[in-house]
Amino acid sequence: MRFRLVLSLLAAFLGTALAVSVFLPWFHLPILGLSIPTPAWGKAGVACLAAASTLFLRALGGSALRWLVRPALIPAAYFWWTSLEQMQAWGARSLAPAQLKLATVNQGLGSLGGEPITIYEPALWRGLEPSYGWQVAGAILVLSALFTLFDGPRMPHCGSCNKRGREGDSFCFQCGQAFSEQPVCSNCGQTAIEGDAFCRHCAKPLP
Q: Which is nearer to Zn ion, 160 or 182 (CB)?
A: 160
Q: What is the DSSP string of 119-163?
A: S--HHHHHT--B-HHHHHHHHHHHHHHHHHHHSS----B-TTT--
Round to whole Å and give the CA distance between 137 and 20: 9
Q: Which of 154, 13, 146 is nearest to 70 (CA)?
A: 146
Least CB distance to Zn ion at residue 160 (A): 5
Q: In angstroms, rounded to a whole number, what is the distance separating the alpha carbons of residues 30 and 49?
A: 25
Closest CA to 207 of 185, 191, 174: 185
- Least separation in angstroms between residue 172's CB and Zn ion is 3
- Of 1, 47, 4, residue with least CA distance to 150: 4
**How far apart (Å, rounded) are the C-alpha atoms in residues 26 and 45?**
10
Is the CB of 28 or the CB of 163 nearer to Zn ion? 163
182 binds Zn ion (CB under 5 A): no
202 near Zn ion, rule: CB under 5 A: yes
**Per-residue interface string for the shown chain with Zn ion, residues 47-76, x marking contact by CB under 5 A:** ------------------------------
Task: Tell me if 170 sits within 8 A of 199, measured CB to CB.
Answer: no
d(CA 132, CA 13): 19
Does residue number 87 form part of the binding site for Zn ion (CB under 5 A)?
A: no
The interaxial angle of helices 132-150 and 43-61, nearest 10 deg, is 40
- Least distance from C-beta 193 to Zn ion, angstroms? 13
Q: Is 199 in the site for Zn ion (CB under 5 A)?
A: yes
Indicate which single residue of 180, 190, 191, 196 sits in contact with Zn ion (rule: CB under 5 A). 190
Q: Can residue 158 be called a binding residue for Zn ion (CB under 5 A)? A: yes
Of 14-22, 51-59, 113-121, 151-159, which part binds Zn ion (CB under 5 A)? 151-159
Shortest approach of Zn ion to residue 200 CB, angstroms? 8
Interface segment toward Zn ion; rule CB under 5 A; list 44-52, 72-80, 113-121, 183-191: 183-191
Note the residues at the interface with Zn ion (CB under 5 A).
158, 160-161, 163, 172, 174-175, 177, 185, 187-188, 190, 199, 201-202, 204
